[in-house]
Amino acid sequence: MKTRRRYRKKAGQFVVAVQLDLDTAGFTYRKWGAEQRCKSGDWLVDNQGDVYTVDDEVFTRTYRRMGPGTYLKTTPVWAEVATEPGRVPTKEGRSHYDAGDYLVYNNENATDAYCIKAAKFEAMYEPAD
């Protein structure tokens, strides 16, 4: 892996989201090459047509409401380019990535990970330093 760098979301890169604030056991779905889990209180996110769920604690800590149903990620992320294919554990399940994809972490200590294709990451994020 290359050195991890700090990034921030580019202006205008908001998501549409709704909280699964229902009395439910949640649900499972397939995405990123593995089964993902969503539980009551988590968020269903539409990120420019890419739909997935985000853990409630993570969403509440990292996103801010812009208007009805629209949210912007306001906290920085730390990311590095994968040099070989692999998989990373996430709060929702597990995500598979290819060489050249970005491994992204919500925390500087490389925890709360996920992965994003390079073109999508570069369209959404910019270096924060």
SS (H, E, C) 62-124: HEEEEECCEEEECCCEEEEECCCCEEEECCCCEEEECCCCEEEECCCCCCCEEEECHHHHHHH
C-alpha to C-alpha distances, 118 to 50, 70, 83, 103, 123, nearest whole angstrom: 15, 24, 12, 9, 9
For the chain (129 residues), the mean pLDDT of every run of 10, in chain order, is: 85 95 95 95 96 96 96 96 95 95 94 94 93
- Amino acid identity for residue 72 in this structure: L
Residue 2 is predicted with a pLDDT of 57
Distance of CA 38 to the CA centre of its chain: 14
Lookup: tokens for 34: 């593995």
Q: Which pLDDT does position 54 carry in this prediction?
A: 96
